[in-house]
Amino acid sequence: MTESATTTMPATSTARSTRNSSIVFDNVTKTYPGQTAHALDSLSIEVRSGELVCLVGPSGGGKTTALQLVNRLVDLSSGEIRIGDTNIMDLSPIELRRTIGYAIQQSGLFPHYTVAENIATVPTILKWDRKRIEARTKELLELVGLTPVENWLKRYPGQLSGGQQQRVGIARALAADPPVMLMDEPFGALDPITRVAVQDEFLDIHRAVGKTTLFVTHDIDEAIKMADRIAILKPGGLLAQYDTPAEVLARPADDFVAEFLGAERGLKRLALTTVAEVLAAGRDRRGSSPVAAAAGSTEAGNPVSAAEWPEVSATMTLREALSLVSAAHAQGARVMDAGSHLGDVTLHELICPPADDPARTTEGARI
């Protein structure tokens, strides 16, 4: 994540850490006792400070194992894992875990604890004073969007929806402001609509607090949407590819990755770029009059004239815009932002975005 990301989040004590909090896997192998196959095979990756890396792959690919090696719920067979400059074996497991936020599927909330008590779990064992815990709990509930906080503090997990439970799970993981977060399919049990909402919120939070995050998911679309970089594991715990979503989609390392990305790989790529970015790139290429360029196009058989092209918002992804353009049988779209007409994009620009340039990040698509 960029250091310049601004925040509107109430993240006063969830400040960005300037310390090195990268997670480094150095030739890490795990073989469970009594098994011949490796669960994880010579994994070497670095999750940079503040970066969000998604670990994807088929079930049994070693994703959970990789995650639990970091907080020592699982013991290394060989290799080394470092957080910042510290080898994880130099700390006691308990010390280590208290510096790592941990969120899992089904939230793992304690059903006999209220929302407030759940969030306060780690601060309580760290013996923070009551006032500080109370303030922190409220701050976190605001951060995850459960407001007004008074309505949520005293509820039990059983009285919350899946999405609300997951938000509390994230708040609990963030409670002691750990520099590193491990998340194991945290949104795996949510319905599609709730899932998208919680993903969006989590990305906002991630941008605001800048925790180094290792995020396991079996859902490649979730990884494309969330990740700065994606690590794809194959069965046997072998790393197939480790790169940005754009690069993985544009150039899958092998047949396994290509198949894992699916037949819609080309379309998925379009979800990484916003209409605004295409518009800006088009202006760069053609000078300041993209409308004339598009309208004057000599392409054959425009069934709908440029003036009647469908309107798309600048923040839409190309995939969304393309869907509208296709539905309207048009050759392009009018880009609108808060009621004003910013310019037009052509069908050609929508399906051949400038995102092939690996230097471009996926930041824009996340807004």
Partner 1 sequence: MDVLVGAFPFMTANFALLLEKTGEHLVISLIPLLAAIVVGVPLGVWLGHIHKGEFLAVSITNIGRALPSLALIAILIGIVGIGMLNAMIALFLLAFPPILSYAFQAVDSVDADLTKAARGMGLAPMQVLTKVELPLGLPMIISGIRTAAVLTVSSATIATIAGSGGLGDVILNQVAYGMEGVIAAALWVAVLAILVDQVFVLLLKIASPAGVKHLQRAAVAA
Ligand X SMILES: Nc1ncnc2c1ncn2[C@@H]1O[C@H](COP(=O)(O)OP(=O)(O)O)[C@@H](O)[C@H]1O
Using rule CB under 6 A, residue 12 touches ligand X:
no
Binding mask 39-78 for Mg ion (x = CB under 5 A): -------------------------x--------------
Between residues 11 and 39, which has the closer beta carbon with respect to ligand X? 39
Q: Edge to edge, what strands does the sheet with 78-83 contain?
A: 40-47, 23-30, 78-83, 86-87
CB under 5 to 8 A by kind: which of ligand X, Mg ion, partner 1, none does 121 bind? partner 1
Q: Which of 16, 82, 98, 218 binds partner 1 (CB under 8 A)?
A: 98
Number of shown-chain residues binding ligand X (CB under 6 A): 11
Number of shown-chain residues binding partner 1 (CB under 8 A): 29
- Please name the residue that has the structure tokens 């929806």: 161
Binding mask 176-205 for partner 1 (x = CB under 8 A): ------x-----------------------
Using rule CB under 8 A, residue 156 touches partner 1:
yes
**Cβ atoms within 10 A of the Cβ of 72, count?**
18
Using rule CB under 8 A, residue 33 touches partner 1:
no
Binding mask 58-97 for ligand X (x = CB under 6 A): -xxxxxxx--------------------------------
**Cβ atoms within 10 A of the Cβ of 255, count?**
9
Between residues 150 and 255, which has the closer beta carbon with respect to partner 1? 150
Q: Candidates 2-10, 53-61, 200-208, 222-230: pick the segment binding ligand X (CB under 6 A).
A: 53-61
Using rule CB under 8 A, residue 97 touches partner 1:
yes
Give least dist CB 62 to partner 1, A. Answer: 17
Quickly list DSSP for 150-187. HHHHT--GGGS-HHHHHHHHHHHHHTT--SEEEEESTT
Distance of CA 348 to the CA centre of its chain: 29
Using rule CB under 8 A, residue 161 touches partner 1:
no
Do the Cβ atoms of 266 and 359 come closer than 8 Å? no
Using rule CB under 6 A, residue 57 touches ligand X:
yes
Binding mask 109-138 for partner 1 (x = CB under 8 A): xxxxxx--x---xx--x-------------
Quickly list DSSP for 77-132. SEEEEEETTEEGGGS-HHHHHTTEEEEETTTT--TTS-HHHHHTHHHHHTT--HHH
Between residues 94 and 300, which has the closer beta carbon with respect to partner 1? 94
Using rule CB under 5 A, residue 105 touches Mg ion:
no
d(CA 133, CA 39): 39
Between residues 184 and 204, which has the closer beta carbon with respect to ligand X? 184
Q: Edge to edge, what strands does the sheet with 238-243 contain?
A: 100-104, 180-184, 212-216, 52-56, 229-234, 238-243
Number of shown-chain residues binding Mg ion (CB under 5 A): 1
DSSP SS3 for 264 = coil
Residues 6+ apart with CB under 8 A from 178: 98, 99, 100, 101, 211
Report strand pairing: 238-243 vs 78-83: unpaired
Spatial CA neighbour of 247 closest among 352, 365, 360, 366: 360
Spatial CA neighbour of 91 closest among 180, 185, 169, 214: 180
Quickly list DSSP for 2-34. -TT----S--TTSPPP-S---EEEEEEEE--TT
Binding mask 21-40 for ligand X (x = CB under 6 A): -----------x--x---x-
Q: Candidates 38-46, 108-116, 142-150, 353-361: pick the segment binding partner 1 (CB under 8 A).
A: 108-116
Report strand pairing: 229-234 vs 238-243: antiparallel
Q: Which residue is nearest to Mg ion (CB)?
A: 64
Q: Which residues bind partner 1 (CB under 8 A)?
A: 68, 71, 73, 94-98, 100, 102, 104-106, 108-114, 117, 121-122, 125, 156, 158, 172-173, 182
Q: Which residues bind Mg ion (CB under 5 A)?
A: 64
